[in-house]
């Protein structure tokens, strides 16, 4: 069975990323084409990147890196849920991505962004990062506007069209994850 990690890409107190990721997970849980798991980067307590050698070496000194590596290695693809902070993704998500290399390679990546401009600039940056990490970014993405998909800019209230967008995204991530699995064998 294909395994997809839904990455909660913010650690900020009061974050919306967890609500958005749980909404994506609830939609994903209705599908039978893959296993889906929420992965909260906050639970891994990753300090600012602190490994003495580059991650491409795979020689991890710290236990927190080995635990993070094992979790990410267990997936065939990912859906990254990201806020947009200052026209980019969160520093916490960028840091979590930077910790590893091989564990991301030859896996599919999909993106759900949120913010005043739908998180599109954060997703744009994540696509570049994913490419460098040898991930295949799918074409579909979900953009949630703080003005239209949240009530009073805080409570997530996406419309039915957004659920269709999530299913389109998930379909692409699952298909590409399956296709890329043979590269990792």
DSSP strand E in 9-135: where? 35-40, 77-83, 108-115
Residues 6 or more apart in contact with residue 182 via CB below 8 angstroms: none
pLDDT in tens, 107-137: 999 999 999 999 999 999 999 999 999 999 9
First to last CA, the chain: 15
> How many domains, the chain?
1
pLDDT in tens, 154-178: 999 998 899 999 999 999 999 999 9
Averaged pLDDT of the chain: 97
Q: What whole-number distance in Å separates Cα of residue 182 and Cα of residue 115?
A: 36
The DSSP code for 138 is E
For position 16, which CATH number holds? 3.40.50.360
* pTM for the whole structure: 0.97
* CA angle (140, 99, 12) in 5-degree steps: 70
Residue 185, pLDDT > 90, answer no
Please give the residue range of the domain that contains residue 41.
3-184
Which residue do the tokens 């957004």 mark?
Answer: 162
> Around Cβ 104, how many Cβ atoms within 10 Å?
21
pLDDT in tens, 34-69: 999 999 999 999 999 999 999 999 999 999 999 999
Residues 6 or more apart in contact with residue 124 via CB below 8 angstroms: none
């Amino acid at each position: 069975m294909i395994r997809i990690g839904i990455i909660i890409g913010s650690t900020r107190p009061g974050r919306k990323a967890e609500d958005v990721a749980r909404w994506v997970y609830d939609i994903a849980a209705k599908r039978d084409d893959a296993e889906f798991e929420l992965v909260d980067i906050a639970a891994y307590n990753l300090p600012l990147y602190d490994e003495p050698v580059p991650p491409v070496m795979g020689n991890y000194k710290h236990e927190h890196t080995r635990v993070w590596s094992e979790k990410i290695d267990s997936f065939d693809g990912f859906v990254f849920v990201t806020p947009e902070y200052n026209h980019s993704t969160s520093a916490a998500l960028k840091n979590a991505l930077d910790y590893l290399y091989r564990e991301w390679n030859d896996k599919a990546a999909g993106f759900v962004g949120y913010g005043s401009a739908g998180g599109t600039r954060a997703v744009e940056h994540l696509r570049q990062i994913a490419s460098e990490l040898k991930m295949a970014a799918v074409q579909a993405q979900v953009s949630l506007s703080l003005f239209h998909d949240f009530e009073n800019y805080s409570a997530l209230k996406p419309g039915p069209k957004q659920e269709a967008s999530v299913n389109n995204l998930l379909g692409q991530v699952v298909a590409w994850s399956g296709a890329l699995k043979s590269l990792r064998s």
